[in-house]
Amino acid sequence: MDFLTFDIETTYGESNGRVGNRWDSEFGLCSIGWKKGKGDYSDEYTVIDVDGERKGRRPDVGLPFADLSDISVIVGHNVKFDLLWYWDHPEVKEFFKRGGKVWDTMYAEYLLSAQFFGGHTTGLTLKETAQRRKCDYAKLDIVAALWKDGVRTEDIDPDVLLEYQKYDVLTTEEVFLKQVKQARDQGQVVTIQQRMDGLLATTEMEFNGMKVDQEVAQEQRRELEESIKGQEEILEQYIPELPIGCIFNWASWRNVSALIFGGDLKYTGTTYSLDAEGHKQYYKKTIKEVVRDKNGDPVVYKSGKRKGEIKTKNITIPDTERGPKTKQAPFYYTLPGMAEPKDKWKSSVDGYWSTAEDVLTEIAETQGVKLVENLLYLKGMLKDLGTYYKRFSKGKWTGMLTNIQPDGCVHGQLNHSITVTSRLSSSKPNLQNIPKKGKSKIKKTFVSRFPEGKVVEIDYAQLEVVCKGVLSGDEELLQALIDKKCFHCEWVAFARGVDYEFVYQKAKVEGDPEWVQNRQDIKPLTFGETYGAGVTHLSEQSGLPADVVEAAIKARKLKYPKMYAFDDEVAESVGKTRKPTTLRTDEGYQKAIGYYRSPTGTIYSFMEIDSPGWKKDQGIHTAFSPTQMKNYPSQGLGGEVMQVQAGRVWRALVTRDLTDIILLINTVHDSIYADTINQEVAEKYLPMIAGLLEDVCPYFNETYTDVNWDTPFPVDVDYGDNILDTDVTIKERSKEWILRGK
């Protein structure tokens, strides 16, 4: 394996949500360092003089790069950052076209560590990774100190900067070699290599970005602000007339708790100052009073200049004209409440209950409190405004519109080394949390960058459930997926003791109001049981008696025995691999960690938490989370399938020189978004992309030793003028791009 390790240094700082922003003309490349395998280290300082100011070199004026003609793997730490500066560099494009690979030491460390770094799950810096790997080189911290003091990278002494960079390259190489050895020992080379192509796909997505129609976005923002104002006026009607000085604050969870559940509004008001006996205290004033003798007659001066004048004296009396003294004091106004609180919602502050979204949602669904429904609606709009549009909050602007780059696109960051399941996350902005149709219009703002272009959305159908099926090998579950069974209807059938076909006919075909409602009411049970909730919780959430819930779960276990057996296998594996750690639970008990290894080689870690009450009664203080053990493997495999398949699509586009007319622009858990130059291109190539994405089991069977799956991974393919209106469906599938043995 001929590899090249490289690192760059850029203008220091952040703009539009990106550090070292390659789309901002104020940022530039300041230096590059590289080393080929056993060869010598090389570097180049790229700061130039532009009109008397030192500037890093921009991509559009040509960036230097090492000769890659004899290289098969590029190595870097957080290599996506470095590659984004070179993504359209001819040398790099040719490297990938002929099959060149990458190895990101940050991503590899995360995967080799089972997505766990001893207390946190964020990607490790190179320095942290080097310390874990006991690397030899000592880094110069002076550069980081200069940056912290506000010194521009361009103004740092070149020799100091290049020495700093040399450490990065040499240490990254040492980390890489140690990681490869561990990957071989752990049997993870293949899974890491496959995921690295997924990282290249997300690099392509970040580079291309998502085009935003800013006029539409600003208009929708204005409409949303008007809706928020109207909703706030509606909510104000729920607030009774309050005493002077008592102001209700919607941003205060205590105020909201008091309004919903009943309780005190604390406010500051004016009251009289009282003395020790409870009498009003007055300000004092000084007056002159006639001096009188014992008979009450005025006393006069008998001699001196004032002879014959009446004597007076100064006395202090209460100033009744000014009024009693007042002071600011705490007052409490009690609200009656509108909803019945539950003990589990009690907060740590006496007399108040949680107002978290899940609590409010449960109240809206089970108690029908109109205020809560309106409040949830307002919260949703505020979240929409602050996440996807633009909102001034806590002294700063937030929202997607603040992240639009000069090219009119948002280049959101797709993070590979953060989640505990190995799924991707997204930030600045979060483009993996785009609301579904009906909840927000934000999808309408994402359009094609091409005059006649079309945007594409490709979704895997029920990806996590399919992954649970292939992992467990449950034929009944897999057949249910093939038959496109409605699992909500099935849960109703289990709970009501009737046939599935009867429920489906009534709820989905006939639209019978009673059975439609039954299907809606069962959803807390459908989702909750999937995520490991217990009978008591499920009963509370669904409103069904505990014995009905228990019977429904029992029926489902009989229907899908292998799925539940697989959950037991995961729990058994975690228990067998349990090892104590130095970490502590919230209640101070020592945590242990356990592992489960997927057939693809991905390893999942599970950290103990404080036990629930019934286990504590048995003297068991810590336990692994059933929810995590039930869901990490299938969630993680879903993320892995998405990453591997996205990597394959990217490879297909690169090798066929199609990246200028079909642009990958984003991925969301089970979806891929693309931007095509026109409808003709979409119609021609989307069948090939769909066929490649559905080619999961044959490819995974060929790639991974322990995989032998045989179930469809269907995708839905739609395109349109914007992501909200992808109303043209591609039904054709082509195997033209599926190359076995490659």
3-10 vs 73-76, strand pairing mode: parallel
Q: Does residue 245 share a domain with residue 388? A: yes
Q: Does residue 219 share a domain with residue 110? A: no
Note whether 207 and 87 are within 8 A (CB).
yes
Q: Does residue 54 share a domain with residue 145? A: yes
For residue 545, being part of any structural domain is answered with: yes
In three state form, how does the secondary structure of 57-108 look? ECHHHCCCCCCCCCCCEEEECCHHHHHHHHCCCHHHHHHHHCCCEEEEHHHH
Regions of the chain where pLDDT drops below 70: 1, 118-122, 137-140, 436-439, 740-742
Q: Spell out the alpha helix ranges (H) of 656-735.
A: 679-694, 697-703
For residue 162, being part of any structural domain is answered with: yes
- The reported pLDDT for the residue numbered 78 is 96
Domains in the chain, number: 4
Q: Does residue 15 share a domain with residue 127? A: yes
- The reported pLDDT for the residue numbered 673 is 97
519 vs 490: CA distance, rounded Å = 9
Q: DSSP of 603-617, one letter per residue?
A: EEEEE-EEPPHHHHT
- The reported pLDDT for the residue numbered 742 is 46
Note whether 72 and 96 are within 8 A (CB).
no
504 vs 703: CA distance, rounded Å = 39
542: exposed, middle or buried (C-beta count within 10 Å: 0-12, 13-18, 19+)? Answer: buried
Neighbour count for residue 128 (Cβ, 10 Å): 14
- The reported pLDDT for the residue numbered 414 is 95
How distant is the alpha carbon of residue 274 from its chain centre? Answer: 55
Q: Does residue 478 share a domain with residue 337? A: no
Last residue of a domain, one of 353, 373, 403: 403
For residue 38, being part of any structural domain is answered with: yes
Q: Does residue 395 share a domain with residue 492? A: no
Distances (CA, A) of 736 to 687, 718, 730, 733: 9, 20, 16, 9
Q: Does residue 497 share a domain with residue 369? A: no
Last residue of a domain, one of 168, 186, 204: 186
- The reported pLDDT for the residue numbered 327 is 86
Which neighbouring-strand residues pair with 426? 414
For residue 10, being part of any structural domain is answered with: yes
495 vs 539: CA distance, rounded Å = 11
- The reported pLDDT for the residue numbered 119 is 53
37: exposed, middle or buried (C-beta count within 10 Å: 0-12, 13-18, 19+)? Answer: middle
How distant is the alpha carbon of residue 670 from its chain centre? Answer: 15
**Would you put residue 393 in left (φ > 0), alpha (ψ -120 to 50) or beta?**
beta
Determine the structural domain holding residue 263 and report its residue range. Answer: 214-268+329-403
For residue 680, being part of any structural domain is answered with: no
Note whether 625 and 606 are within 8 A (CB).
yes
Q: Does residue 297 share a domain with residue 346? A: no
69 vs 89: CA distance, rounded Å = 14
Last residue of a domain, one of 363, 380, 403: 403
- The reported pLDDT for the residue numbered 430 is 86
* Burial readout 203-224 (b: 16 or more C-beta within 10 A, e: otherwise): bbbbbbbbbbbeebbeebbeeb
Q: Does residue 181 share a domain with residue 90? A: yes
Give the domain CATH number at 159: 3.30.420.10
For residue 696, being part of any structural domain is answered with: no
625: exposed, middle or buried (C-beta count within 10 Å: 0-12, 13-18, 19+)? Answer: middle
Q: Does residue 353 share a domain with residue 249? A: yes
For residue 666, being part of any structural domain is answered with: no
Note whether 662 and 653 are within 8 A (CB).
yes
For residue 661, being part of any structural domain is answered with: no
617 vs 592: CA distance, rounded Å = 20
- Consecutive H or E run containing 651: helix 626-655
Q: Does residue 172 share a domain with residue 100? A: yes
**Would you put residue 572 in left (φ > 0), alpha (ψ -120 to 50) or beta?**
alpha
Q: Does residue 570 share a domain with residue 524? A: yes
